[in-house]
Amino acid sequence: MLLFIKKAGFILLVFISISTIISFGSLWSLRQSSFYKPSFLVNNVLEKEFDYIILGASTGLTTLNTRVIDSVLHTNGLNLSMDDTALSSQHLMLEHFLAQGKIVKFCVVAPSINDYDVKSNVLSGNDYRFLPYINTSYVSNHYNRYSSQSAKLLYGSKWLPILGVSYYNTEIFYPSLLALINPKKRNRFDEKGNYGYPNKNAKSRSITEFKELPISFQNIYLEKISDLCKLNNIKLICYFSPINAKKVVTETDDYTILNHSDLLKNTSFFYDDIHVNYKGRQISSEAFANDFKLMIK
Amino acid sequence: MLFNSIDFAIFLPLFFVLYWFVTKRSLSMQNLLIVGASYLFYAWWDYRFLALILLSTVIDFLVANQLKKEERKRQRKWLLFISLFFNLGMLAFFKYFNFFIESWTDAWQVFGVNMNVSTLKIILPVGISFYTFQTLSYTIDVYKKKIEPTSNIIQFAAFVSFFPQLVAGPIERASHLLPQFNTKRIFNSKFAISGFYLIIWGLFKKVVVADNCAFFVNQIFDGSAGYSSIELCLGALLFGFQIYGDFSGYSDIAIGVARLFGFSLMTNFSFPYFSRDIAEFWRRWHISLSTWFRDYVYIPLGGSKGTKWQSIHNVFIVFLVSGFWHGANWTFIVWGGLHAALFLPLMLLKSNRNHLKSTKVYLHQVPSLLITLVLVTIAWIFFRADNLAHAYQYIVDMCNFSHSGARVFYKSSKMLLFSSIIGFSILILLLFEFIAVQKNKKEVELSTFTAIFIVILICFMGVFKNPSEFIYFQF
């Protein structure tokens, strides 16, 4: 028995040691890079002060182009949206932004519309991108809030990084190798954090009817974002991105709202039902700039 | 409970401690613990189907013990019939009921008769094909007086439900496994270490090879009309590696886990992709099932004795039934039939036992090795396709030699990454197996350092986020 325990123990010990070193290296490599938004913000965004930041999911990422907005308003904006994330992730991103000592006047949240009403939050698909910062309290607390297996593994990475790195090996380990070779490489976004969907296959058809989509802001994380904004003297704007043939309606006065859900009246501006394409992004960003101009004043 | 799950990673060491440290002194307690743990292992999926295992255990136990007392031929036949009726009836109901109904109505539709017969929503109990075959072999062997029945129901329950091989084999024979439940277990470090290595190797085959292959295989087979000839060919080839990694990986883990508790299970796979003809392939692929069919179907039918036509008839029956065992779909029957058609020429030319003595592959044998791989791969298309029309269209599309390359494997960085992982892992798999084949070994042997290397590969190349279920669970 002793021989077996010694042998199995030795194999496990050597494996854990080597894998832990590799995993630490992997997270270190990502921390030095610009591959994902959290480390891009730390390493590639040198400015300290911004007029506005956009925190959103794929809708915020692909609808609002800060280059267009800044060219109209002569402002300094940054898009920190990430696809497949929720308001909870956007709260985490705001915490991460503030933790870097950066200052912003306006915070525009642009999640998926339905996310405004989510009551029970779960770990978002791309929250693993914060894993390189697991040793900060706001990231580890974020993972610790959820009961899913992936959240537990991410939280456990605080002590044993192989848990998160191996579970998300294609998303963390291999990109970290890429980051090691080219630390400046970004994962599908430009130097202002923008990304867009192409125009191809966009059929042109007028949208005449818009079905109403009621929203009542039940997600607790919007309140948390609002509180964090107040604490840091940031004005919060809730943005509703264009949706194909739907109009978001809400009765709340608690938040400043920019409702562009029914802005686009032709299907050729859409990539799919909830995402715009390049053409749609241009129009949406210009419309945003025009409305935002009034708010700045 | 999946072998590649966190649940099992907690379950196994707990069971190990209880088995070797708490119940070590009493064989009955160890067996009772095995039964309890096995039932828990099975209940993790669906506790309701435990009743079937329990029923199968009780019926076969009673039948076998009655067979021991009974000497009258007619009564013995009746007792055997009860066991066959219950086990095969259970299998027929849960696995084949809807298939028979659908085939029956489809057949009438050919003659223009539309029958409105509704099917049942039946959940297939995991591993039913495996444990029913295992218990069947027990009663048949007792009936043939090849083995003595056990009078200890706990031992028999442990034999039927032994968790390492309960849901996907190897399908053990009572003559091999049952006596082990009646033998005092002494921990053998070397044996346990070999089991530990086999678990590592099995996990590599499942988590790295099979689950990564599944990434492309599922895409290609689910939308086969949109892919080029090369992509379809590679899709079929990758499915061959997926199913091999998946099933033989499970078997390796099962054998390895059993060794940790002092049990020896039979080898289920012996490097089938190093076979030089189809006959050799079937001596190396799912050995526990093919030998089961040989002993309980082929030989009772007369085997190769009798006329040439009788032998052909027997071979076809065995392959068709073997195909049907895999699933209630015509695709599996055609798959079995195809293998029979490939096997027959070898049998007729009396060259089906050509490579019995040595597994060692020589350079001049590489072409026959590749031809066998191609034939097996074509047959796999039927195994994986949703229906016969899908399989037929897949082969037609594969053979139209469209020249749009193999873009699916490199069109995005993610695809390229998966392609690289798959290529590298298959290379490692074949390299380790080639070494074992050349040394005439029964299984891949790892050293301490190669074991560490493989575990690291599992960690950084394995699929953990969206793991696929073991394919053979559905059978």
Q: What is the ipTM of this complex?
A: 0.86
Q: Do A18 and B414 make contact, defined as CB atoms within 8 angstroms?
A: no
Closest-CA residue in chain A for B463? A167
Q: How far apart are CA B279 and CA B281, in angstroms?
A: 5
Q: Do A3 and B190 make contact, defined as CB atoms within 8 angstroms?
A: yes
What are the φ and ψ backbone dihedral angles of B223, each rounded to 5 degrees?
-135, 45
Query: Which pLDDT does position B291 carry in this prediction?
Result: 93
Confidence check: pLDDT of B112 > 90? no
Residue B327 banded pLDDT, cuts 50, 70, 90: confident
Domain count along chain B = 2
Residues B226 and B372 placed together within one structural domain of the fold: yes
Domain for residue B117, yes or no? no
Provide the 10 A C-beta neighbour count for residue B337. 17
Residues B63 and B199 placed together within one structural domain of the fold: no
Query: Which pLDDT does position A103 carry in this prediction?
Result: 95
Domain for residue B294, yes or no? no
Residues B176 and B105 placed together within one structural domain of the fold: yes
Query: Which pLDDT does position A201 carry in this prediction?
Result: 64
Query: Which pLDDT does position B473 carry in this prediction?
Result: 67
Confidence check: pLDDT of B47 > 80? yes
Average pLDDT over residues B208-219: 95
The overall average pLDDT reported for chain B is: 90
One-letter amino acid for residue B194 of the chain: S
More confident position, A34 or B120 = A34
Q: Which residues contact B123 (CB under 8 A, 6 or more apart)?
A: B46, B94
Q: Are the C-beta atoms of B195 and B231 separated by less than 8 Å?
A: no
Confidence check: pLDDT of B402 > 80? no
Q: How far apart are CA B218 and CA B471, in angstroms?
A: 12
Q: Which of B176, B313, B326, B339 is catalytic?
A: B326
Query: Which pLDDT does position B426 carry in this prediction?
Result: 97
To the query of whether residue B326 is one of the catalytic residues in this protein, the response is yes
Which of the residue ranges A72-86, B10-24, B145-159, B304-318 would you say has the lowest mean pLDDT? Answer: B304-318
Average pLDDT over residues B29-43: 94
Closest-CA residue in chain A for B199? A8
Nearest chain A Cα distance for residue B419, angstroms: 12
Query: Which pLDDT does position A185 carry in this prediction?
Result: 92
Give the number of A-B residue pairs with CB atoms closer than 8 Å: 57
Q: How far apart are CA B159 and CA B174, in angstroms?
A: 8
Q: Do B452 and A18 make contact, defined as CB atoms within 8 angstroms?
A: yes
Residues B243 and B134 placed together within one structural domain of the fold: no
Residues B416 and B461 placed together within one structural domain of the fold: yes
Q: Do B193 and A7 make contact, defined as CB atoms within 8 angstroms?
A: yes
Residues B239 and B144 placed together within one structural domain of the fold: no
Closest CA to A31 of A138, A161, A159, A183: A183
Residue B475 banded pLDDT, cuts 50, 70, 90: low
Q: What is the dihedral of CA B63, B68, B73, B75, to 10 degrees?
A: -40
Nearest chain B Cα distance for residue A38, angstroms: 21
Tokens at residue B419, please? Answer: 């392609």
Tokens at residue B418, please? Answer: 């998966």
Closest CA to A97 of A61, A49, A131: A49
Q: Which of the listed residues B186, B205, B224 is the one where a domain comes to its end? A: B186
Average pLDDT over residues B260-274: 94
Closest CA to B131 of B90, B98, B80, B93: B90
* CA A96 to chain CA centroid, nearest Å: 11
Residues B379 and B394 placed together within one structural domain of the fold: yes
Q: How far apart are CA B242 and CA B29, in angstroms?
A: 39
- Domain A49-164+192-296 bears CATH identifier 3.40.50.1110: yes
Closest-CA residue in chain B for A5? B189
Query: Which pLDDT does position B252 carry in this prediction?
Result: 96
Question: A179-187 — which CB contacts under 8 Å span 24+ positions?
Answer: A179/A29, A179/A30, A179/A32, A179/A33, A179/A35, A180/A29, A183/A29, A183/A32, A183/A33, A183/A34, A183/A43, A184/A33, A184/A34, A184/A44, A185/A33, A185/A34, A185/A35, A186/A34, A186/A35, A186/A40, A186/A44, A187/A35, A187/A36
Residues B199 and B179 placed together within one structural domain of the fold: no
Q: Which residue has the tokens 């440290």?
A: B21
Tokens at residue A129, please? Answer: 């991108």
Judging contacts by C-beta atoms under 8 Å, the chain A residues touching residue B419 are none
Average pLDDT over residues B159-178: 91
Q: What is the residue range of B428's domain? A: 191-276+358-474
Tokens at residue B321, please? Answer: 């039934």
Confidence check: pLDDT of B302 > 80? yes
- Helix or strand or coil: residue B89? helix
Going residue by residue through chain A, which has 297 residues, state the pLDDT in tens, using 9 for 90 and above.
889 999 999 999 999 999 999 999 999 999 999 999 999 999 999 999 999 999 999 999 999 999 999 999 999 999 999 999 999 999 999 999 999 999 999 999 999 999 999 988 899 999 999 999 999 999 999 999 999 999 999 999 999 999 999 999 999 999 999 999 999 999 989 999 999 999 876 678 899 899 999 998 999 999 999 999 999 999 999 999 999 999 999 988 889 999 999 999 999 999 999 999 999 999 999 999 999 998 887
Average pLDDT over residues B79-102: 86
Strand partners, A270: A276
Q: Are the C-beta atoms of A117 and A223 separated by less than 8 Å?
A: no
Query: Which pLDDT does position B119 carry in this prediction?
Result: 66
What are the φ and ψ backbone dihedral angles of A252, each rounded to 5 degrees?
-75, 150
Confidence check: pLDDT of B404 > 80? no
Q: Which residues contact A44 (CB under 8 A, 6 or more apart)?
A: A34, A184, A186, A191
Check the CA dihedral A71-A77-A81-A86 and report its sign: negative
Closest-CA residue in chain A for B448? A11
Q: Are the C-beta atoms of B380 and B338 separated by less than 8 Å?
A: no
Q: How far apart are CA A11 and CA A25, in angstroms?
A: 21
Nearest chain A Cα distance for residue B258, angstroms: 15
Q: Are the C-beta atoms of B348 and B315 separated by less than 8 Å?
A: no
Closest CA to A60 of A194, A188, A191, A189: A194
Query: Which pLDDT does position A202 carry in this prediction?
Result: 61
Q: Which residue has the tokens 């050995």?
A: B287
Residues B154 and B68 placed together within one structural domain of the fold: yes
Domain for residue B293, yes or no? no
Domain for residue B141, yes or no? yes
Residues B177 and B255 placed together within one structural domain of the fold: no
From residue A254, give the alpha-carbon distance in Å to each of A156, A216, A236, A248, B140: 37, 10, 11, 16, 77
Nearest chain B Cα distance for residue A172, angstroms: 10
Query: Which pLDDT does position B311 carry in this prediction?
Result: 86
Q: How far apart are CA B278 and CA B379, in angstroms?
A: 11
Strand partners, A266: A206
Q: Looking at the complex, does the CB of residue A160 fall below 8 Å from at least one CB of chain B?
A: no
What are the φ and ψ backbone dihedral angles of A108, each rounded to 5 degrees?
-105, 115
Query: Which pLDDT does position B347 carry in this prediction?
Result: 85
Residues B57 and B152 placed together within one structural domain of the fold: yes
Q: Looking at the complex, does the CB of residue A177 fall below 8 Å from at least one CB of chain B?
A: no
Tokens at residue A55, please? Answer: 């925190």
Q: Are the C-beta atoms of A264 and A280 separated by less than 8 Å?
A: yes
Q: Which residues contact B335 (CB under 8 A, 6 or more apart)?
A: B323, B326, B379, B380, B382, B383
For residue A1, give the nearest of B187, B414, B452 by CB distance. B187
Residues B94 and B201 placed together within one structural domain of the fold: no
Confidence check: pLDDT of B468 > 80? no
Confidence check: pLDDT of B474 > 70? no
Q: Which of the listed residues B171, B186, B201 is the one where a domain comes to its end? A: B186
